[in-house]
Amino acid sequence: MLTIREEIVESKVPSQPEAAPAQRTSTLPPDFTQWFHEHRDPVFRYVRFRVATREVAEDVTSEVFMKALRSLHRYDANRASPRTWLLRIARNAVTDHLRALKRRGSLHVSLDRVPDLVSNAQSQEERVLKEERIQVLLNGARQLRKADQEILSLRYGSGFDNAEIAEALDVSPNAVAVRLHRALKRLKDVINADDFR
Amino acid sequence: MTNKMNDNDDTFDLPPELAELDRQLSAISIEQRCSFGPELLAELERVDREEPPLRKSNARRHLIAAGIGALLLASISQPARASLARLIPWFGDEPEAALASIETPVFPPMPQPELLPEELNGTPDLEVSLDDVIEAPLPLQPTAVGAAGRNDDNQPPTFDRGAARAAILARYPRALMVAGVGGTVDLRFWVTLDGSVDNVQVTRGSGQRALDVAAMSVAQTLRFTAARRNGVPVGSWVDFPVVFEAADGPPLAEPTPIDDVPVPGDLLLPLPADLILGSYLTPPPTLFEAQQLLRSSLGQEAEFGGRWSGQLEALLIAEPPAGELPNSWRREAAVALERAMAEHPFNPAPVLALARIRRSQGMRSEARRLFEAGIDRAELDDDISGNMRAELRYELGMVIQEEWRAFASLGRLPRAALSDAICAAAPGSVESGSFAAVGDLLSLNMACPEELGRALAVGFEELPAELGHSRNDMLRAFQLAIEAQPTHGRANVELLLDLADQRRWGVLLDRSQAFVWETQGNPHGLLMTGLALERLGRVEQAAQRFEVAMKVLEDDEVEALRDISMLLTDDRAELFGSLSASEQEDAVRGFFRTLDPILTTGVNERAIEHIARASYALLRFGSTDVDPARIWIRYGRPNAIRTFGEGGETRTEFWDYGVGPDLTFRRAAASRHMDLTEESATYSADLLVQFPHFYNGPALRQALVLPGQVSRFRVTKGSVELEITTEVPTDLATGGTDELELSIFLLDARGNKLSATRSKVSAIEQTIRVRIMAQPAAKQVVVELYNPTISAAASLREPVPLGADLGGPSISDLFILDPADPGEDDVRRTAAWVQPNIGLVPESGELGVLFELYEMPATEDFALRVFLVGEDGTSQAVEFQPAGETEYRVTWRRSANGAYRISEYITVNLERFPSGSYTLAVRALHSGDIGEIESSRPVRIR
CB interface of B with A, residues 313-352, below 8 Å: 345-346
pLDDT-derived band at B283 (thresholds 50, 70, 90) equals low
Average the pLDDT over B449-468 and give the result: 79
Name chain A contacts of B10, Cβ cutoff 8 Å.
161-163, 173, 177
Strand partners, B905: B850
Angle, to 10 degrees, between the axis of helix B286-298 and the axis of helix B349-360?
Answer: 100
How far apart CA A192 and CA B8 sit, in angstroms, is 32
Inter-chain residue contact B26 with A156, CB threshold 8 Å: yes
CB-CB: which of A18, A26, A98 is closest to B45?
A26
DSSP-derived letter for residue A51 is: S
Predicted local confidence at residue B390, as pLDDT: 92
Q: Is B314 helix (H, G, I), strand (E, B) or coil?
A: helix
Classify B174 as helix, strand or coil.
helix
- The pLDDT confidence band at residue B620, using thresholds 50, 70 and 90, is very high
Q: What is the pLDDT of residues B215-258, one digit of tens each?
A: 887 887 888 887 777 777 777 777 787 888 765 433 322 222 33
Separation CA B29–CA A48 (nearest Å): 10
Beta-strand relationship, B708-716 and B846-854: unpaired
pLDDT-derived band at B279 (thresholds 50, 70, 90) equals: low
The answer to whether residues B202 and B185 touch, using CB atoms and an 8 Å cutoff, is yes
How many Cβ contacts (< 8 angstroms) between chains A and B? 193
pLDDT at B7 over 60: no
pLDDT at B123: 29
For B786-838, the pLDDT digits (tens) are 988 888 889 998 888 766 556 778 899 999 998 888 888 889 988 888 988 87
The contacts of residue B671 (CB under 8 Å, 6+ apart) are B402, B405
- What pLDDT band is residue A127 in, cutting at 50, 70 and 90? low
B883 and B831 Cβ atoms separated by less than 8 Å: no
pTM over 0.90: no
Query: Smallest Cβ distance to A62: which of B24, B43, B379?
Result: B43
Mean pLDDT for all residues in chain B: 77
Helix (H, G, I), strand (E, B) or coil at B444: helix
B259-263, B374-378, B609-613: least confidently modelled range = B259-263
Answer for the pair B280, B521: CB distance below 8 angstroms, yes or no.
yes
Share of chain A above pLDDT 90, in %: 5
Bigger pLDDT: B92 vs B839: B839
A134 to chain B: which residues are within 8 Å by CB? 28
Mean pLDDT of B426-448: 76
pLDDT at B84: 27
User: How many other CB atoms are there within 10 angstroms of residue B800's CB atom?
Assistant: 21
Helix runs in B132-268, H state only:
161-171, 174-178, 209-221
**What is the structure's pLDDT at B423?**
65
Q: What is the pLDDT of residue B785?
A: 93
Residues A148, A152, A157, A159: what is their CA dihedral angle, to the nearest 10 degrees? 130
CB contact under 8 A, A162 and B380: no
Q: Once rounded to an integer, what is the mean pLDDT over residues B170-190?
A: 76
% of residues, chain B, pLDDT over 70:
79
Helices B505-518 and B489-501, axial angle in degrees (round to 10): 170
Residue B126 neighbours by CB under 8 Å, 6+ apart: B120
State the pLDDT at residue B420. Answer: 63
DSSP string, B4-41: ---TTPPP----HHHHHHHHHHHT-EE---TTHHHHHH
The pLDDT assigned to A24 comes to: 42
Coil, helix or strand at residue B868: strand
Q: How far apart are CA B280 and CA B523, in angstroms?
A: 8
Kindly report the nearest CA distance between residue B454 and chain A, in angstroms. Answer: 41
Mutate to test the interface with B, among A73, A97, A103 (most CBs of B within 10 A): A73
What is residue B62's predicted lDDT score, i.e. its pLDDT? 26
Task: Provide the β-strand partners of residue B461.
Answer: B412
Contact B212 A78 (CB under 8 A): yes
pLDDT of residue B151: 44
**Do B732 and B740 touch, CB atoms closer than 8 A?**
yes
**pLDDT tens digits, residue range B291-308?**
889 999 998 888 888 889
pLDDT tens, position by position, B786-797: 988 888 889 998
Provide the chain B residues 10-29 that lie in CB contact (below 8 A) with chain A: 10, 12, 14, 17-18, 21-29
B682-693 mean pLDDT: 80
**Residues B559, B576: Cα–Cα separation, whole Å:** 13
Evaluate whether B31 touches B1 at the Cβ level (below 8 Å): yes
CA-CA distances (angstroms) from residue B785 to B679, B704, B793? 43, 9, 6
Lowest mean pLDDT: which of B90-99, B336-345, B531-540, B591-600? B90-99
Cα–Cα distance for residue pair B898/B902, rounded to 1 Å: 10
Q: What is the mean pLDDT of residues A20-46?
A: 75
Beta strands in B390-519 (DSSP E): 410-412, 461-462
Average pLDDT in the B918-942 region? 84
Question: How confident is the model over B63-119, as pLDDT tens digits?
Answer: 222 222 222 222 222 222 222 222 222 222 232 232 233 333 333 333 332 222 222
User: What's the rounded mean pLDDT across residues B441-451?
Assistant: 87
Nearest chain B residue to A62 by CA distance is B40
